[in-house]
């Protein structure tokens, strides 16, 4: 009997080759670098957020950028963009969470995603220049370029969250008097990036000589702050000391319709001012030379409403000093409005006026209103404000007062214009009530502290609901209020007519740093062929 024979091997189906044991291990390990970079980028962005006020953890900005450097160094352009975007989103989402208090989560997240794109572009360019000698130096300049772009486009830009605005308690603060916020931001970023390069070389190279350059870069950048404090401003003419009162009238939070709320806010500021007058008469407070009310302290147009005008005049008579009144004024076209600061004298009414020069997009006005209305019903809440021709300064009782209305304090040029207009003290009338009990008011207060050092001017911040504050020219907060509490601050303020290098040079240091970053990117592009294929993981 014939025994069946097996089929020829040629007809056997080829078995699937078993993967080598080490291949599976490599596949599993391939996720580890990605996860590490993601954690580094996201963790760095979160640390940068935590370095901002109301916390005084300024030093967290240094490990934040050290982590970012570890993620970006030697990477390709596409990877740099991605990790920069992750870093920016992890930073901006918690920093700007107060935006959602008014408009809800979708516009808040959309804003953060859009702004993080600028950080992504910065990350791409930082990765590109990271291979150059002294890479952290060029990368820090690139970061300033990204901040400069984000602070100007679109619709005037969003300077909120620039790194220097998180450093009012750090040792680098005196640099603001030399090169403004951009130089302060540059030095902070440079220290962090240099520390990141130091750690990288320590782990990878372990050659002590290789550690010298990043260590020296970090040390020199850090000591630049104390050294800047030794540079005195140019003296001006002797200025007197005046008494300035900042009134925080508070806002009602529940139970009133829109018009009743506006009237209640005005009545609150009149009432607190009259109480101050009573305290002055009783000797409990000194007589102020001038009084500052916050933005929106009279949303009822006192130029069109005799009752509102009478209330303000009553307060001015009681306190026997001119009052800077934050008012919303309707323009002759009947549709648009201006956000204005009016100098009100008893019996005379308005004697000086400064209109807000840069109004806030998506809040005070809505660009492309019909288009954005397709995506969110909150578009209807945006106002119809238009910028005015304000000079940035007003005269009150013989004092030249610079005026930066709320949002304006974030813009370098507007505050510099006020100083150029002769301001010897800067007022930042603000209304943060819309955003509730959030960190927004502390973030803005930090900007005012930077401006005080930048221009060697005392700064007074009156707000509707807090935090109001008086700030010395060295950035120290000498007095402040609690949020959503009626209060008044009376301060003996030493006026200043000095000129800092930052005031004289204005935006020049920023543009020098931007040019440095652009040149570095150009040099990196030219040298790119020498590096071989990009590593875009």
| Phi, then psi, of 339 in degrees rounded to 5 | -95, 110
| Phi, then psi, of 354 in degrees rounded to 5 | -130, 120
- Distance (Å, rounded) from C-alpha 339 to C-alpha 358? 10
- Distance (Å, rounded) from C-alpha 169 to C-alpha 188? 12
Catalytic site residue from 406, 439, 454, 510: 406
Catalytic site residue from 147, 356, 408, 454: 356
Query: How deeply is 469 buried, as exposed, middle or buried, from its count of CB atoms within 10 A (0-12, 13-18, 19+)?
Result: buried
Alpha helices in 229-257 (DSSP H): none
SS3 414: helix
Catalytic site residue from 295, 408, 439, 510: 295
Q: Can 125 be counted among the known catalytic residues? A: no
Residue 329 bridge partners (DSSP): 338
Stated length of the chain: 537
C-alpha distance from residue 61 to each of 112, 182, 337, 411, 537 (Å)? 19, 15, 40, 22, 25
Q: What contacts 452, CB < 8 A, 6 or more positions away?
A: 426, 458, 459, 471, 472, 473, 474, 475
Q: Can 406 be counted among the known catalytic residues? A: yes
Smallest CA-to-CA distance from 460 within 504, 404, 499 is with 404
- Distance (Å, rounded) from C-alpha 118 to C-alpha 126? 12
- Distance (Å, rounded) from C-alpha 341 to C-alpha 519? 43
Q: Can 356 be counted among the known catalytic residues? A: yes
**For residue 128, what is the enclosing H or E element?**
helix 105-129
Q: Are 350 and 343 in contact (CB under 8 A)?
A: yes
SS3 string, 285-338, reads CCCCCEEECCCCCECCCCCCCHHHHHHHHHHHHHHCCCEEEEEEEECCCCCCEE
Would you say the C-alpha torsion 227, 229, 233, 238 has a positive or negative sign?
negative
| Phi, then psi, of 399 in degrees rounded to 5 | -110, 130
- Distance (Å, rounded) from C-alpha 348 to C-alpha 345? 5
Long-range CB contacts (within 8 A, 24+) of 35-43: 37/71, 37/83, 38/83, 38/86, 40/67, 40/68, 40/70, 40/71, 40/83, 41/67, 41/68, 41/71, 41/83, 41/84, 41/86, 41/87, 41/90, 42/86, 42/87, 42/90, 43/67, 43/90
Which residue numbers are catalytic? 295, 356, 406
């Amino acid at each position: 009997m014939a025994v069946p024979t097996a089929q020829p091997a040629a007809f056997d189906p080829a078995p699937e080759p078993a993967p080598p044991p080490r291949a599976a291990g490599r596949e599993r390990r391939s996720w580890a670098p990605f996860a590490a970079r993601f954690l580094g980028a996201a963790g760095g962005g979160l640390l940068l957020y935590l370095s901002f006020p109301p916390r005084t953890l300024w030093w967290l900005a240094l490990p934040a950028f050290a982590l970012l450097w570890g993620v970006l160094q030697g990477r390709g352009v596409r990877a740099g963009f991605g990790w920069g975007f992750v870093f920016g989103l992890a930073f901006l989402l918690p920093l700007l969470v107060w935006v959602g208090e008014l408009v809800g989560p979708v516009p808040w997240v959309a804003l953060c995603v859009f702004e993080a794109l600028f950080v992504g572009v910065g990350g791409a360019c930082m990765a590109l220049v990271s291979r150059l000698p002294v890479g952290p130096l060029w990368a820090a300049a690139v970061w300033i370029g990204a901040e400069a772009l984000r602070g100007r486009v679109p619709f005037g830009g969003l300077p909120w969250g620039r790194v220097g605005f998180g450093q009012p308690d750090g040792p680098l603060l005196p640099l603001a008097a030399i090169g403004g916020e951009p130089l302060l931001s540059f030095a902070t970023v440079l220290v962090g990036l240099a520390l990141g390069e130091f750690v990288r070389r320590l782990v990878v190279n372990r050659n002590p000589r290789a550690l010298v350059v990043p260590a020296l870069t970090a040390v020199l950048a850090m000591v630049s702050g104390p050294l800047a404090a030794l540079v005195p401003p140019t003296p001006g003419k002797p200025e007197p000391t005046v008494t300035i009162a900042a009134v925080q009238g508070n806002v009602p939070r529940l139970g009133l319709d829109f018009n009743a709320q506006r009237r209640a806010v005005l009545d609150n500021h009149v009432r607190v001012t009259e109480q101050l007058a009573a305290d002055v008469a009783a000797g409990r407070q000194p007589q102020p030379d001038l009084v500052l009310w916050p933005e929106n302290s009279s949303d009822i147009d006192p130029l069109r409403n005799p009752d509102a005008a009478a209330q303000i005049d009553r307060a001015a008579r009681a306190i026997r000093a001119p009052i800077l009144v934050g008012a919303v004024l309707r323009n002759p076209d009947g549709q648009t409005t201006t956000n204005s600061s009016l100098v009100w004298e008893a019996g005379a009414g308005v004697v000086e006026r400064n209109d807000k020069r840069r109004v806030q997009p998506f809040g005070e006005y809505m660009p492309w209103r019909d288009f954005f209305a397709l995506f969110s019903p909150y578009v209807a809440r945006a106002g119809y404000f238009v910028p005015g021709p304000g000079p940035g300064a007003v005269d009150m009782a013989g004092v030249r007062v610079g005026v930066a209305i709320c949002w304006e304090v974030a813009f370098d040029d507007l505050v510099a214009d006020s100083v150029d207009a002769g301001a010897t003290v800067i007022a930042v009338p603000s209304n943060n009530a819309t955003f509730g009990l959030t960190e927004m008011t502390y973030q803005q207060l930090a900007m005012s502290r930077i401006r005080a050092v930048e221009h060697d001017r005392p700064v007074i911040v009156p707000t509707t609901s807090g935090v109001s504050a008086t700030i010395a020219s060295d950035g120290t907060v000498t007095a402040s209020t609690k949020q959503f509490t009626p209060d008044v601050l009376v301060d003996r303020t030493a006026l200043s007519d000095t000129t800092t290098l930052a005031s004289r040079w204005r935006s020049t240091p920023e543009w020098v740093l931007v040019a440095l970053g652009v040149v570095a990117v150009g040099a990196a592009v030219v040298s790119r062929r020498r590096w071989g294929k990009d590593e875009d993981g």
